Structure 1
Amino acid sequence: MLLPFFLVYPFIFLYSLWYKCVSGNWLDVTIAKIYFTGYFPRLSNPRIGLFKILGYEYRDDACHVSIAELDIILWIFPQSLRFTSGSLATVEIHDFRVRVFSSSQTPVWLQKLRRNLVFTVLNCHTVRLDDILTEIVLNDESDQTRLSGYSNQWHIHNVFNQRMYAFGRLDAQLRRNWLDDHGSLAFIGRECRWIKLPTLQQSESRWQLSPFQH
């Protein structure tokens, strides 16, 4: 007899959370809502819970970060049931925005993210690329250079960390004024995700670890 789908309605619910620090470096964090929903795991959907965070805002002297929605899905036996390569949680970020006020004060976590993505693009294997376009515009009157780039459905396999990066659409534009020695970079990514791929050892031992094997 199959167990019916079971949902536990949110039993943890918080809203209008905020934290502010004015001593030393200025810091302001606000969260509109946080709640947790429990689920009864099934073979076809072995998740046990969902954390949802809405309206996250982070501000300090260096940057402004905002996330419209953050979903954290918790799994049970994800590798054995072939839902993930072993990760117990799946994270989905919606409308993630970062504004850095000065490149000299770029946060450390953003520097690491940038280095990882640049290394992946320049050194790893492109599995799929539907379209790519670059454009350079030179302006003699204002001594401003504008470099624009666009890509569609760019999938890259990083063999060093066993990740598959999928960029649905990327739009980037770099503006540089050589007289004022000032520039700006705008980067927009849509439908972007990365997936941790299973190693060969994990693939071979998947059925050995399965609790449902006869």
Structure 2
Amino acid sequence: MSWREFPWDALRVLRAVCFAIASYLFHRQIAGHHLTVARLSILTLSARDIHYTATLYDGTYSFDFKASSASVRFHLPRPTYPCWLTFIAGDLLYTSLTADVSVSKLDATFWVFPVLFRFTAGPWLNLVLDDFRIRIFSSRATPFYIQRLRQNLVRAILVGEYLRVDDVWTTVQFAGLSDFVPGAARASTDSYGFGSGGAHDAHGDADGAPNGSGTREGEEREGRLEKAEDPAEKTQKLLPRDREEFRASAFVRQLHINNTEGRIYTFGKLDAQLRRDWDSDTGTFVLVAEDSRWVRVHWPYQRAKTTAWWIQLAAGFLTFPYDLINTFQHPVGAVNLYIPRADITFDEYRIRDAELILQSISLIREKSYMYNINTPDVLFNALGQMMTPR
């Protein structure tokens, strides 16, 4: 977003807010926007059962947003805790044509002069997202905000500075698919038709019974066993050929990366798996991250020399308009983010859409151009070395 586009984008956001408020007041849809609130309290600054729907871009994009509760509280900033506002929302659900996003609890804390009071390195907002889940229907239509987040993370992995890595392992498997067998069905198959009392009856025959009843009962039991269905007959017929899939998994524990742009990514656990079924030409991707943080850090010159408090105070006032515009252009730049657990799922994922592959190829081209390396020759020579008999 350029400086010339900023007024128009701000006007679009303001217009959407006005339409939403008007639709709530008049209880009807206005210009594709409709906002309903079951309960709104001005005294406590809280709301219940919020529902907002909108249709944008000439009807080509629509979304639905729900929240069970939302509340705002003002605070008196103190040097020990310079917080002036907190915003808490619960059970958020955002559904659209391309993705679904849900958060069990959102907790936002707004700071005043966070650099002066040494609470953050610049961001004036701390954001906590509990039970953060994203479901993308197709990698070919990834939402813009998720695409930017993925690009920044992959860029940090490729060119960032690794500060800490406790454990890393990767696995690549080429295995056949097998259908799921419920536990009850498996148990009944293992019993070979005896039922719940089969084992008990078998022991009873061995002990015998008085008055010759054991022989008669044994014959009846043998007849029932002959009529019992053979478990081999339940076995499904083999397919003409096995269904093959490709699975690539990666697991990382305690990963800390400095992206060399003033941000540090930290992950307590990071587990990812890519699955590809070659027969149906479909694939899925799942990423689970725990204890994830995205924190702004000071630049080296800021850590080398401490600035006087009155200079920081003046700089905070003078740079506020610029920070406001920059926040509107790049909202996540003004946030320190913490996510206890995040689940990201792609229902349909293509390998050629993988950001790691795209940026790796771009990085190889960039390095080849900088150092005047003929990449095709290098790859051809490497292939020749692999095929040369030893």
Unmatched tracts of structure 1, length 5 or more: 1-9
Number of the residue aligned with 1:6 = none
Inter-partner Cα distance in structure 1 for 2:65 and 2:249: 33
1:181-196 paired onto structure 2 within 5 Å:
181-196=281-296
CA drift at 1:24: 4.5
1:149 aligns with 2:250: yes
Does residue 1:158 correspond to 2:259, yes or no? Answer: yes
1:20 match: 53
Residue by residue over 1:3-59, the C-alpha shift from the partner in whole angstroms, topping out at 9 and shown as x without a partner, is: xxxxxxx83101111112475434211111111122222222221221111111111
In structure 2, C-alpha distance between the alignment counterparts of 1:75 and 1:108, rounded to whole Å: 28
Higher share in helix: 2
Choose between structure 1 and 2: higher strand proportion.
Answer: 1
**What value does the CA root-mean-square deviation take over the aligned residues?**
1.8
Match of 2:164 among 123, 128, 135: 128
**What residue identity is the alignment partner of 2:251?**
Y
Q: Deviations over 1:178-208 (max 9, x none)?
A: 1221100000111101111122454435434
Q: How far apart, in 1, do the equivalents of 2:145 and 2:274 lie?
A: 21
Q: Percent identity?
A: 30
Q: Under a length normalisation based on structure 1, what TM-score does the superposition of the two structures give? A: 0.87
SS in 1 for 2:113: coil
Q: What TM-score comes out, normalization by structure 2 length?
A: 0.49
Aligned residues: 201
User: Which of 40, 52, 70 pairs up with 2:88?
Assistant: 52
**Greater Cα radius of gyration, structure 1 or 2:** 2
Q: Which residue number corresponds to residue 29 of structure 2?
A: none
Cα 1:16/1:158, change in 2 over 3 Å? same
Alignment of 1:38-117 (within 5 A): 38-117=74-153
User: Cα distance 1:177–1:198, how it changes in 2: closer, same or farther (>3 A)?
Assistant: same
Unmatched 5+ residue regions in structure 2? 1-42, 177-241, 314-390
Q: Distance in 2 between matches of 1:162 and 1:51?
A: 26
CA–CA distance in 2 between the matches of 1:96 and 1:41?
A: 29
- Tell which deviates more after alignment, 30-39 or 118-127: 30-39
Higher relative contact order by CA 8 Å / sep ≥ 6: 1 or 2? 2
Matched residues in 2 for 1:87 and 1:26: separation? 31
CA contact (8 A) 1:79 1:206 kept: no
- The letter of the residue matching 1:82 is R
